Structure 1
Amino acid sequence: MNQTGIVLARHHDREALRRALRTNRAERIRRGAYRRPQPSTGDRFRDADDQALARTRAVAAQLRQAWVSHESAALLHGLRLWQLPDRVHVVQKYRASSASADDIARHRLDLAEDERTVLDGVATTTLERTVVDCCVTLHPLLALVIADHALALGMDRAAALAVLDARRDPRGRRRARLVLELADPGAESVWETWLRYIVVRAGLPRPTTQLQVRTPHGDCRADLGWAELRLLAEFDGRVKYTRGALGPGHDADRALFDEKRREDHLREEGWGVVRVTSSDTPDQAEHRILRRLPRDLREALTPLHHLPPPPPAPPAPAARPAHPPRRQAGRVGGGTSGGRHLGLPIT
Structure 2
Amino acid sequence: MTTTTVERAGTLAIDQRSVGDACRWPRRAAENGRSAPVRRAGNAHVHDWPSANERTQHLMEMLAVAGARRDDLVFVGASAAAVWGLPIVGAWPPAVEALAGARSVTRTGWLAGALARRAVTWHHRSVPDEDLELVGPWMVTSLDRTLSDLARRAPFVTAVAALDHGLKPAVRSTDGDVFCGADREELLDRVRRDEGARGRAKALAAISFADALSGSPGESLSRVQIHRLGFAAPLLQSRVEHDDGDADYPDFEWEGTYGEFDGFAKYSRDECGGGDGPADIVWQERRREDRLRMHGKAVARWTWEDAWNPPRLRSILMTAGVRPVRPAAFSPDAFGEWVVNA
State the superposition RMSD in angstroms. 3.4
Matched with 2:286 is 260
Larger CA Rg, structure 1 vs 2: 1
CA distance in 2, matches of 1:261, 1:248: 18
Letter in 1 for 2:326: L
Letter in 2 for 1:216: D
Alpha-carbon distance change, 39 to 310 in structure 1, aligned in 2, over 3 angstroms = closer
Written as runs of structure 1 = structure 2, the 5 A alignment for 1:253-292 is: 253-280=279-306, 281-292=309-320
CA distance in 1, matches of 2:100, 2:268: 46
Residues 1:303 and 2:328 are matched in the alignment: yes
Residues 1:79 and 2:62 are matched in the alignment: no
CA distance in 2, matches of 1:26, 1:251: 29
Say if 1:198 and 1:310, in contact at 8 Å, map to a contact too. Answer: no
Residues 1:223 and 2:203 are matched in the alignment: no
Say if 2:299 and 2:320, in contact at 8 Å, map to a contact too. Answer: no
CA distance in 2, matches of 1:247, 1:29: 36
- Provide the secondary structure at the position in 2 that maps to 1:111: coil
- Provide the secondary structure at the position in 1 that maps to 2:196: coil
- Provide the secondary structure at the position in 1 that maps to 2:151: helix
Question: Which of 239, 242, 249 is matched with 1:212 structurally?
Answer: 239
Residues 1:113 and 2:138 are matched in the alignment: no
Comparing 233-242 with 125-134, which one deviates more in the overlay? 233-242
Alpha-carbon distance change, 45 to 238 in structure 1, aligned in 2, over 3 angstroms = closer
Say if 1:57 and 1:122, in contact at 8 Å, map to a contact too. Answer: no
Residue 139 of structure 1, CA deviation: 0.8
Letter in 1 for 2:81: A
Alpha-carbon distance change, 123 to 26 in structure 1, aligned in 2, over 3 angstroms = same
What is the TM-score of this pair, normalised by structure 2?
A: 0.71
Deviation string, structure 1 residues 34-53 (Cα, Å, up to 9, x no partner): 46741658xx9566534422
Residues 1:38 and 2:39 are matched in the alignment: no
CA distance in 2, matches of 1:96, 1:137: 25
Say if 1:210 and 1:223, in contact at 8 Å, map to a contact too. Answer: yes
Matched with 2:151 is 135
Alpha-carbon distance change, 112 to 32 in structure 1, aligned in 2, over 3 angstroms = same
Letter in 2 for 1:236: D
Deviation string, structure 1 residues 9-67 (Cα, Å, up to 9, x no partner): xxxxxxxxxxxxxxx999656454646741658xx956653442242244345167642
- Provide the secondary structure at the position in 2 that maps to 1:149: helix
- Structure 1 spans left out of the alignment, 5+ residues: 1-23, 313-347
What is the TM-score of this pair, normalised by structure 1?
A: 0.70
Letter in 1 for 2:284: D
Matched with 1:8 is none
Relative contact order (alpha carbons < 8 A, sep ≥ 6): 1 or 2 greater? 1
Letter in 2 for 1:174: A
Alpha-carbon distance change, 60 to 167 in structure 1, aligned in 2, over 3 angstroms = farther
Residue 72 of structure 1, CA deviation: 0.4
Alpha-carbon distance change, 109 to 166 in structure 1, aligned in 2, over 3 angstroms = farther
Alpha-carbon distance change, 67 to 39 in structure 1, aligned in 2, over 3 angstroms = closer
Say if 2:6 and 2:64, in contact at 8 Å, map to a contact too. Answer: no
How many residues are aligned here? 282
Deviation string, structure 1 residues 161-198 (Cα, Å, up to 9, x no partner): 22211222211111111111111112232211111111
Comparing 129-138 with 115-124, which one deviates more in the overlay? 115-124
- Provide the secondary structure at the position in 2 that maps to 1:155: coil
- Structure 2 spans left out of the alignment, 5+ residues: 22-49, 172-180, 338-342
Residue 84 of structure 1, CA deviation: 3.6
Question: Which of 197, 201, 204 is matched with 2:228 structurally?
Answer: 201
Residues 1:147 and 2:163 are matched in the alignment: yes
CA distance in 2, matches of 1:303, 1:242: 35
Matched with 1:103 is 119
Deviation string, structure 1 residues 92-125 (Cα, Å, up to 9, x no partner): 1279787533210111123122211111122211
CA distance in 1, matches of 2:196, 2:251: 36
Matched with 2:39 is none
- Provide the secondary structure at the position in 2 that maps to 1:279: helix
CA distance in 1, matches of 2:317, 2:200: 31
